[in-house]
Chains A and B, each alone.
Chain A
């Protein structure tokens, strides 16, 4: 092997002995600090870092399980070209040669990079520099396009720069929090716990949730407004009118620090003759609407906390601006406990935005619109071939791959075959694209199936680099363990290819800190505050300035204390809040009111359709390549599902806990029906996580129309009219297996267990002969126990290898039967006494202790029945006492809303 994969420098953690490293969680945009204990090249434990400002020591269930995501299962260990293992040299040459030839023949815009908010800032920086600076195309986009593009554009419009002005501490000090288009109880549990704790300390604090769904966050709110999907801008425009009518405007602030208020108000008014029209537009009771408006108007410190429900929309930028308008109009911004707080989905969406990860940005918060900004970057990079116009945004990028205009694409750390709208088009596009390069850690992603070149990347715990969380806090991830096989850090891989493309001098990085220093230097390059005394003519002001770190030592970098940018001469220790002085990053230093014509989603359902909303569930992350490996994270919700209102269930003849099929764009989604009043009539909800590696037909995005916001290119992922019908299974069951298997059934869903996997199964076709059902899947097994009745109302089959339970299949034509396999799961791979092993077929141990009911607390594995017993026994009379006795709810707190329901 020509390439040395790891040097001690790249992997500084000691290989033996126990060490503790301060690092960060790689999941959501909260960006929690972690203390990881490493032993024998393995992270053996994680806990929250009490010193990290994001989480102050707490971790959610996903973060708490990070060390369990390790291991070689599904890891990619070697570079591959066309399915064959090759050397790194061969792999990078293949890429470089192909990209060079393509660019030579078709120009730089015939190639593209598609990046990810999972990448560290240094990786992002190098990729962006290579494409925009040296290949000379703007075609670098990122999955942040699906997540943050609306907020980014809205910030730019309102503030002149993509800046989140506030910080997490504001969530503790706010007197009212409006959560709109977000379900932080599930998606951002640690900041959500902050809000809840603050309200517990002062019950006068209010939490208002505006969401079509009655989410876990909504259940715990003081006020929940289940507005019509997509009517968010109507709500905030209505609020603006209300504030004006009620005399609740901060006229001083508007006059001093803002621009365009009158036009914004007039535009808002143009859609409504009266506030009651707002209630109609939002489809909520007027009294509720007014109650919420009154809270906003009469509370001094208000934070609007928003996320994908606002962003993932054909008018997401406008929605975000409608929110910002109201905060500007009341001066509820740029001060403690007040502001419009956009929270990102991913751990480093902000870092990506800082380096120009989006095709519409250049780098360091500089843009293509102004030739001076292009020139600034060109000079700094010494990049004569720099791109001069924005590249293609994600949806357009894959359209062009499909049309053949883009002939080579390099996808890093993301899974677009699962996550992109109209995902089957993405699949087809990649199928025909002459060169698809995929940098990945895991084999079990759907996208990897379409790669010509697969590059093994390092992952959490292995790679070092910085991230920026949703409140501008920069933290550094630590390399604590050696990556397996030949896996490399993304920046190294990109650098290797850059060298082979002939850009050795510009990509002369030995360590992540080299990149970080350059990035920090660029942020301060010709950057001065508009009111600064020393100010050069050509200076272009950016709030994003971390130039104080341009000469950071490697040691300081590796021990970096989390700090909120800007970090510059004026603010060497960072800045808690921005725009506190009312000076914005616009030319006139005033914030812009943006006149908003509120719009509903572009495609509305016809009579045969329902509106499909999509989102995260509590214990899974993205496309599950990591969280899907952790058994306990599967216990809360283990199967793709469809939340349906009872009226719709009746209308479409759907039965609770039975499967249903959603259809759109010639794609299907099969999920388990969950009939609930949490959904509005005509609207369903599906989780985004499942994909072809985990279920038969559960790539939600394949059903999402490729409708985007014209301003920012973000797709309307939250609003897809789809058809819904019963799956009409004739049997259902499950298979517990030591090995992964290809299920021959039209429905299956895979669940990771402590040992092996569980597959939930159903089919529209009758079960075959019980002798052959499993024999085809496990040709190596000849030791079976079969329990059945003649009608296959009951069928259970256990297969053994060397007397150890290898697989267990249970099925029934009684679709209403509730399955509980926990006892059997525990017996997998165990040697069982031959004369009594048939008792296994009962599914319970003879003491009847096998069944703890549905899992409520994933952290401590506390089941429903255990909780019910504790309550029944009189020992537990509150959520707190349940926690004392059973520990449930005392770690991540995500299950507390559910624990509360036991007492109501």
Chain B
């Protein structure tokens, strides 16, 4: 069965990738020969985002030849650094420069790489993944790494031209094209979402000369990572970068006008965006809108297959789903009620999974707190753990409103439970280590708040404080 399945798969590859540099002949021969001589277990990875890229590295580092690996990716690219898309948007990076694993890399490592393909169904009894094209791929181990998509917002009229998501290269290119197109006439954009992605998108657009208004439903920016003080500081810095803000409200509806001279080839509708109406009734004029309100895990495969899910695909400490042969990884998985949006824990997931698959070692994944950084030039922020003071914890703050420097450390039971730094993040990693290692820090306060170097100078037995 397995040999056959492989064969089918590869045949399909040869037909669909006829236009690309074809690995087909070699691959066919190799796989066929292997299937005859020694059949390797089949490891199939659905999704080709950053998690997959890292997982491949971890596997190859450990056991380059243990599995016959197949990677199925929806985008027509190899693995790239999605985090850098905002830099691409800002013009600080190019698509080429963010490519990490071009198709040749897969070939070089003997990996079957199916780009532009999507798995629609998993038959976990038969251990077969079905593609949209009805092609079926057998697996011994299956990994779902389908990532996430832009979260939906409840606004009306979302089908108007000029409304974009900001998740992948295609989105980025569309936004760039639109920004260029509108730059001669009107150049107003709405960015919806005051999280990391939204801020980065807004910043990128502003740099390309677009007049940006960022709409965020919370009262301050990055409300998951920053408290109000830091959020307001961030806002003032972003305002200096020519970004306007409409905070505390959501977009109720996108508004359109009929464009008489619209190019019929490029626009499906003659209705084009004229702006948004907020929930408070305010209208903001814009020719483009970027939705960056957050992410929704792509769990559709679990829904249609026999795999447990909640908000996302449920995994245990070893990244296994409710089916022991199927693992999940990255933004599509849910571990102990947590879902993921930052790379650091996902790297840890990759390691845990690689250890199990390659070395049969049970290395539990631990979802350690992750510091947040924003990739906007001139903005330094660092956030980890708690953002707001919780019951029974102490909270030390340092605020310089003129220099726009803010530091906050929350201490619970003597240990750091949260860090928010703005404007100067020089001790961020030191705090983060103290937090992760659960070091008792209350005797170091408040000097620690000013900088870890100030603690070492007064660690004498006679601690003399200035207050």
Interface assignment of A284: CB less than 8 Å from any CB of chain B = no
Query: Chain B residues near A836 (CB, 8 Å)?
Result: 424
Chain A residues in contact with chain B, CB under 8 A?
733-734, 783-791, 794-796, 800, 810-812, 817-821, 823-824, 834-839, 841-844, 846-848, 851
Decide if A789 touches B445 in the complex (CB within 8 Å): yes
Decide if B399 touches A790 in the complex (CB within 8 Å): no
* Nearest CB of B to A748, in Å: 16
What mask results when residues 437 to 467 of chain B are scored 1 for a CB within 8 Å of chain A, else 0? Answer: 0000000011101110110011000001111
Interface assignment of B100: CB less than 8 Å from any CB of chain A = no
Interface assignment of B403: CB less than 8 Å from any CB of chain A = yes
What are 25 sample pairs from A and B whose C-beta atoms fall under 8 A apart? A783-B401, A784-B399, A784-B401, A785-B403, A787-B398, A787-B449, A787-B450, A790-B389, A790-B394, A796-B446, A796-B466, A796-B467, A810-B466, A818-B464, A819-B467, A820-B464, A834-B403, A835-B405, A837-B403, A839-B451, A842-B454, A842-B466, A843-B467, A844-B457, A846-B457
Decide if B398 touches A841 in the complex (CB within 8 Å): yes
The residue in A795, A823, A851 that gathers the most chain B C-beta atoms within 10 A of its C-beta is: A851
Q: Complex: how many Å from CA A821 to CA B467?
A: 9
Name the 7 nearest CB pairs between A and B, nearest first. A843-B466, A848-B457, A810-B467, A842-B454, A842-B450, A785-B400, A787-B398
Interface assignment of B12: CB less than 8 Å from any CB of chain A = no
Query: Chain B residues near A790 (CB, 8 Å)?
Result: 389, 394-395
Within 8 A of A (CB), among B396-424: 396-403, 405, 407, 423-424
Query: Chain B residues near A786 (CB, 8 Å)?
Result: 397-399
Q: Complex: how many Å from CA A851 to CA B445?
A: 18
Q: Complex: how many Å from CA A847 to CA B450?
A: 14
Decide if B395 touches A789 in the complex (CB within 8 Å): yes
Since A790-B394, A796-B446 are in contact, a sample of 14 more A-B pairs with Cβ atoms closer than 8 Å, ordered by chain A residue number, is A784-B401, A785-B398, A787-B450, A789-B394, A810-B466, A810-B467, A811-B467, A819-B465, A834-B402, A838-B403, A842-B451, A843-B465, A846-B457, A851-B464
**Which of A791, A794, A848, A851 contacts B467 (CB under 8 A)?**
A794
Q: Complex: how many Å from CA A835 to CA B402?
A: 9
Query: Chain B residues near A810 (CB, 8 Å)?
Result: 466-467
* Nearest CB of B to A796, in Å: 5
Decide if B458 touches A848 in the complex (CB within 8 Å): yes
Q: Complex: how many Å from CA A843 to CA B400?
A: 16
Closest A residue to B467 by CB, please name it. A810
**Which of B394, B423, B447 contacts A791 (CB under 8 A)?**
B394
Decide if B466 touches A838 in the complex (CB within 8 Å): no
Q: Complex: how many Å from CA A298 to CA B315?
A: 100
Query: Chain A residues near B401 (CB, 8 Å)?
Result: 783-784
Decide if A837 touches B400 in the complex (CB within 8 Å): yes
* Nearest CB of A to B424, in Å: 7
The count of chain B contact residues (Cβ–Cβ below 8 Å) is: 29
Decide if B467 touches A795 in the complex (CB within 8 Å): yes
Chain B residues in contact with chain A, CB under 8 A?
389, 394-403, 405, 407, 423-424, 445-447, 449-451, 453-454, 457-458, 464-467
* Nearest CB of A to B442, in Å: 10
The residue in A785, A786, A789, A837 that gathers the most chain B C-beta atoms within 10 A of its C-beta is: A789
Q: Complex: how many Å from CA A791 to CA B458?
A: 23
Query: Chain B residues near A823 (CB, 8 Å)?
Result: 466
Q: Complex: how many Å from CA A815 to CA B464?
A: 13
* Nearest CB of A to B92, in Å: 23
Q: Complex: how many Å from CA A811 to CA B403?
A: 23
Q: Complex: how many Å from CA A834 to CA B405?
A: 10
Query: Chain B residues near A788 (CB, 8 Å)?
Result: 396-397
Decide if A838 touches B467 in the complex (CB within 8 Å): no
Decide if A783 touches B446 in the complex (CB within 8 Å): no
Decide if A844 touches B454 in the complex (CB within 8 Å): yes
Q: Complex: how many Å from CA A811 to CA B446?
A: 12
Q: Complex: how many Å from CA A430 to CA B449?
A: 53
Query: Chain B residues near A817 (CB, 8 Å)?
Result: 465, 467
Decide if A820 touches B466 in the complex (CB within 8 Å): yes
* Nearest CB of B to A788, in Å: 6
Q: Complex: how many Å from CA A711 to CA B401?
A: 68
Q: Complex: how many Å from CA A847 to CA B456?
A: 10
Query: Chain B residues near A785 (CB, 8 Å)?
Result: 398-400, 403
Query: Chain B residues near A837 (CB, 8 Å)?
Result: 400, 403
* Nearest CB of B to A646, in Å: 22
* Nearest CB of B to A781, in Å: 11
Tell me whether A783 and B450 are in contact in the complex, defined as CB-CB below 8 angstroms, given that A794-B396, A820-B464 are known contacts.
no
The residue in B398, B451, B453 that gathers the most chain A C-beta atoms within 10 A of its C-beta is: B398
* Nearest CB of B to A216, in Å: 25
Query: Chain A residues near B465 (CB, 8 Å)?
Result: 817-820, 843
Q: Complex: how many Å from CA A844 to CA B395?
A: 22
Query: Chain B residues near A841 (CB, 8 Å)?
Result: 398, 446, 450
Query: Chain A residues near B466 (CB, 8 Å)?
Result: 796, 810, 819-821, 823-824, 842-844
Closest B residue to A832 by CB, please name it. B403
Query: Chain B residues near A800 (CB, 8 Å)?
Result: 402
**Which of B395, B405, B457, B458 contacts A838 (CB under 8 A)?**
B405
Query: Chain B residues near A733 (CB, 8 Å)?
Result: 467
* Nearest CB of A to B270, in Å: 52
Closest A residue to B446 by CB, please name it. A794
Closest B residue to A822 by CB, please name it. B466
Query: Chain A residues near B394 (CB, 8 Å)?
Result: 789-791
Closest A residue to B454 by CB, please name it. A842
The residue in B396, B403, B407 that gathers the most chain A C-beta atoms within 10 A of its C-beta is: B403
Q: Complex: how many Å from CA A787 to CA B449?
A: 9
Query: Chain B residues near A734 (CB, 8 Å)?
Result: 467
Decide if B402 touches A838 in the complex (CB within 8 Å): no
Closest A residue to B405 by CB, please name it. A838
Q: Complex: how many Å from CA A206 to CA B62?
A: 88
* Nearest CB of A to B256, in Å: 46
* Nearest CB of A to B193, in Å: 30
Q: Complex: how many Å from CA A733 to CA B467?
A: 7
Decide if B402 touches A783 in the complex (CB within 8 Å): yes
Decide if A835 touches B398 in the complex (CB within 8 Å): no
* Nearest CB of A to B192, in Å: 33
Q: Complex: how many Å from CA A63 to CA B399?
A: 45
Query: Chain B residues near A811 (CB, 8 Å)?
Result: 467
Q: Complex: how many Å from CA A165 to CA B444?
A: 64
* Nearest CB of A to B438, in Å: 20
Decide if A835 touches B424 in the complex (CB within 8 Å): yes
Query: Chain A residues near B400 (CB, 8 Å)?
Result: 784-785, 837-838
Tell me whether A787 and B446 are in contact in the complex, defined as CB-CB below 8 angstroms, given that A811-B467, A817-B465, A842-B454 are known contacts.
yes
Decide if A789 touches B405 in the complex (CB within 8 Å): no
Query: Chain B residues near A843 (CB, 8 Å)?
Result: 465-467
Query: Chain B residues near A818 (CB, 8 Å)?
Result: 464-465
Decide if A846 touches B453 in the complex (CB within 8 Å): yes
Q: Complex: how many Å from CA A790 to CA B397?
A: 8
Closest B residue to A789 by CB, please name it. B396
Closest A residue to B450 by CB, please name it. A842
Query: Chain B residues near A838 (CB, 8 Å)?
Result: 398, 400, 403, 405, 407, 424, 450
Decide if B399 touches A839 in the complex (CB within 8 Å): no
* Nearest CB of B to A612, in Å: 31
Query: Chain B residues near A835 (CB, 8 Å)?
Result: 403, 405, 423-424
Q: Complex: how many Å from CA A842 to CA B465?
A: 8
Q: Complex: how many Å from CA A176 to CA B449?
A: 60
* Nearest CB of B to A825, in Å: 11
Q: Complex: how many Å from CA A818 to CA B394?
A: 21
Query: Chain A residues near B467 (CB, 8 Å)?
Result: 733-734, 794-796, 810-812, 817, 819, 843
Query: Chain A residues near B396 (CB, 8 Å)?
Result: 787-789, 794
* Nearest CB of B to A807, in Å: 14
Q: Complex: how many Å from CA A848 to CA B450?
A: 13
Q: Complex: how many Å from CA A837 to CA B449?
A: 14
Query: Chain B residues near A851 (CB, 8 Å)?
Result: 464
Closest B residue to A785 by CB, please name it. B400
